Amino acid sequence: MDYSEFAPIPVVDGHIHLVHPDLVSDMRRVMDHVGLTAVNLVSVPMRRAINHNAALIDFKARYPGRAYISGALDYVQVRADLDQAPQTLADQVRRLQAVGFDGLKLLESKPTARQWTEFAVDGPTYAPMWAALEESRFPVVWHVADPEEFWDPEGCPDWARQHGWCYDEGDFTAKEQLYAEVEHVLTRYPKLRVIFAHFYFLSADLQRAAAFLDAHPGAHLDLAPGIEMFVNFSRDVEATRDFFIAYANRIVYGTDIGAGSAARDPAQGLDHLDAHGRTRLVRQFLESDRPFNSPDELGHGLGMDVKGLHGIALPDEELSQIYAGNFRNLFGGQPVALDRDAAIEELEWQASAIDALEGALVDSPARRVAQRLNH
């Protein structure tokens, strides 16, 4: 795959999913193929497998300096003692820092996740955690809401319905309620440093995005597709380009590479075509001055096959802010070092929690990575 059409400047992808230790070396290959200097690997909470933190630790141990890692919270531990939940969540953030995580990933305000965690992010359960995050300046990658059409019974796309992401039926939190919760959090903890994933789903309303960024100096927006973002951006190329130049210090490059890999067998490896397609989509949008269609490599997954997009041809200075500068201002010039002993302790703890859930000794990712780090 040829990337010579793109600007020869360092690129850090701020939003990549690594879901299993068996994908670590393949992810390293993907980084080289799509020309990434560094990545931010993110983890999400799960009901039984707890989260993907073990895979992130494994990557950092094997390729130090190439990956920032943003860990997920552990709701198995939270639910084990609900009275202690506020303290537990704050302690989990401190433990992530001690292990050598660079940031926290929150999926908790995606409607499906919001439904199963059951706690409002602006409620008392999370208050000590926000205070700990603000005090330590630990950055957060935070997924809030979803595209507006997912709440619309007619407009919700079939691919989203297949994932259970249409919110017209069932007891899902309304989009504006999710935003209201975020406003409360950012107002109470104004020094929080946050990258809102997928442009905070405000790509259809750049005026609102501008007002949001003006009101909250610690807030940033990432460019990870949803293709709907680039459809919206392409409607008024000039207005979009003006926005990107005005807020070039608040926008972070990201692609969501690996987002689909939780549904695949890790033995199949990563979907390299999808990784190329996502990279080409976002970079073409930022750099080209021409109309383009979504890259063929993306195929039909997640409704990604669209036509009639348009690039905004940003100057090099804005490109280097968006590609690496803004992310490094938030996360530091280099990933923090892994504390091996703290990592092993954390992984062994997670492995035994999974054993307890399953009522048997499980060959979990956490156990396997702990064993590898012990040797």
* Listed residue (90, 49, 93) closest to 71, CA to CA: 93
Q: Which of residues 251-290 bind Zn ion (CB under 5 A)?
A: 256, 259
Q: Which of residues 15-54 bind Zn ion (CB under 5 A)?
A: none
Distance CA 121, CA 143 (A): 12
CB closer to Zn ion, 13 vs 297 = 13
CA distances from 123 to 78, 118, 249, 306 (A): 15, 11, 31, 40
Nearby residues of 154 by Cβ (< 8 Å), 6 or more positions away: none
SS3 226: coil
CB closer to Zn ion, 17 vs 310 = 17
DSSP per-residue letters across 293-359 = PPPGGGTTGGG-----EE-----HHHHHIIIIIHHHHHH-SSPPPP-HHHHHHHHHHHHHHHHHHHT
Q: Please tell me the count of residues contacting Zn ion according to CB under 5 A.
A: 2
CB closer to Zn ion, 257 vs 343 = 257
Distance CA 130, CA 367 (A): 30
CB closer to Zn ion, 17 vs 283 = 17
CB closer to Zn ion, 220 vs 367 = 220
Distance CA 202, CA 59 (A): 32
CB of 224 to Zn ion, least distance (A): 6
| Residue number of the CB atom closest to Zn ion | 256
CB closer to Zn ion, 257 vs 354 = 257
CB of 141 to Zn ion, least distance (A): 8
Determine how β-strand 309-310 pairs with β-strand 219-222.
Answer: unpaired
CB of 5 to Zn ion, least distance (A): 26
CB of 44 to Zn ion, least distance (A): 8
CB of 253 to Zn ion, least distance (A): 14
CB of 49 to Zn ion, least distance (A): 17
Alpha helices in the chain (DSSP H): 24-33, 53-62, 75-80, 85-99, 111-117, 127-136, 158-162, 175-188, 206-215, 227-233, 237-246, 272-287, 316-320, 326-331, 340-358, 365-374
- Residue found by looking up tokens 């939270």 in the block: 78
Distance CA 110, CA 117 (A): 10
CB closer to Zn ion, 14 vs 311 = 14
CB of 106 to Zn ion, least distance (A): 11
Residue 40 near residue 340 (C-beta atoms within 8 A): no
CB closer to Zn ion, 259 vs 369 = 259
CB of 256 to Zn ion, least distance (A): 4
Q: Does residue 108 touch Zn ion according to CB under 5 A?
A: no
CB of 258 to Zn ion, least distance (A): 8
Distance CA 253, CA 282 (A): 8
Is the bond leading into 301 cis (omega within 30 degrees of zero)? no
Per-residue x/- track, 204-243, Zn ion (CB under 5 A): ----------------------------------------
CB closer to Zn ion, 31 vs 90 = 31
Footprint on this chain of Zn ion (rule: CB under 5 A): 256, 259
